[in-house]
Amino acid sequence: MNHRTWTDRLFDGVNYALLALLAVVMLFPFLYIFSVSFTTFEQYLQSDLLLWPTRWATDAYEFIFRSDSFMRAIGVTVYLTVVGTIVNLLFTTTMAFGLTRGIYGQRIVVLLVLFTVLFSAGMIPTYLVVKATGLLNSIWALILPSAIGSVSLIIIRQFFMSLPQELFEAAIMDGANDLQLFGRLALPLSKPALAAFGLFYAVSHWNTYFAGILYLNDPKQWPIQVILRQIVVQSDPTNALGAAEQLMLDNPPPPMTVQMAAILVAMLPILLVYPFLQKHFAKGVMLGAVKG
């Protein structure tokens, strides 16, 4: 029977207290953003630190949801996230599986992939490649240059190598080819890894900012993070979202509430998806380290 001493209980109590304090510190910015986005301008000016609105107002949300620029940016980001994640997983898993099949020059390819982890091409060479391939002012400029993540490729390859090889050998004896091995065995057994790295890729695409500024000159193609930057940096968000008279609002909401509402809407999709895939994170990543 395991007897816990008072020092063990004290240690657990201190840990719980520290974790609770850390959780409060981490949740405070979210609570502040939420409260300011739903408050009135008068209450915001009267409160030194607003943690919960006493008079609720939805003017800021009505303003941003009636903005063509904001809703178009949301649509661009959703398309970028869905298509980009599919492309990432398709290219990464197929290349990772191919590097487990004993192809000629496999070791050299792996070393080249590891080289890109340590050394990147840099901003200007990457821009020149994107320009030479005709991807400027195209949403594909945000997808194809990062179609394969080097670290993700290495980990998923290790994950494929950790799968029971007896299954593949039995399938080969039954006449299965490499494509069937990949589609009918490797992928179904890789759901935890696909969920984990799929979310990593999705978060990366959802947070695309610098590449959008660098490769897209048309504001109509900007993702939400670029529009969000315009809203936060500019003192008057109506310049980024459209003039107030175009939105048919006689009295547009104050800039601070619009900024907070836009930030909350931009964060919400990832916050909603994360809890459903959280359980796959540790399992999906750690399984790739079972076999070297």
CA distance 202 to 76: 13
Q: Is the pLDDT of residue 29 over 80?
A: yes
Residue 25 shares a structural domain with residue 44: yes
264: phi then psi, degrees, rounded to nearest 5: -65, -45
Contact criterion met (CB below 8 Å) for 253 and 41: yes
| 35, 111: one domain | no
Are 33 and 258 in contact by the 8 Å Cβ rule? The answer is no
Same domain, 52 and 71: no
- As a whole number, the mean pLDDT across the chain is 80
Q: What is the C-alpha separation between 79 and 81, in angstroms, rounded? A: 5
Residues 143 and 264 in one domain: yes
Which range among 77-81, 92-96, 179-183 shows the weakest confidence by mean pLDDT?
Answer: 179-183
Which of residues 42, 57, 72 is at a domain's end? Answer: 57
| CATH (domain of 187) | 1.10.3720.10
Percent helix, strand and coil across the chain, each rounded to 5? 75, 0, 25
The last residue of one of the domains, among 57, 77, 105, is: 57
Q: Which domain holds residue 124?
A: 60-292
Across-strand partners of 101? none
Mean pLDDT of 122-151: 88
User: What DSSP character marks residue 52?
Assistant: S
User: How would residue 290 be classed by pLDDT, with cut points 50, 70 and 90?
Assistant: very low
Residues 13 and 145 in one domain: no
**Does 96 lie in the same domain as 3?**
no
| 35, 52 Cβ separation under 8 angstroms | yes
- The H or E element spanning position 165 is helix 165-173
Question: Quick one: 117 and 187 in the same domain?
Answer: yes
Q: How far is CA 219 from CA 19, 82, 230, in A?
A: 43, 21, 11
If you average pLDDT over residues 204-223, what whole number do you get? 88
Q: Same domain for 74 and 42?
A: no
Query: Do 230 and 162 lie in a common domain?
Result: yes
In a shared domain, residues 205 and 264: yes
Least confident piece of the model among 116-120, 240-244, 264-268, 280-284 = 240-244
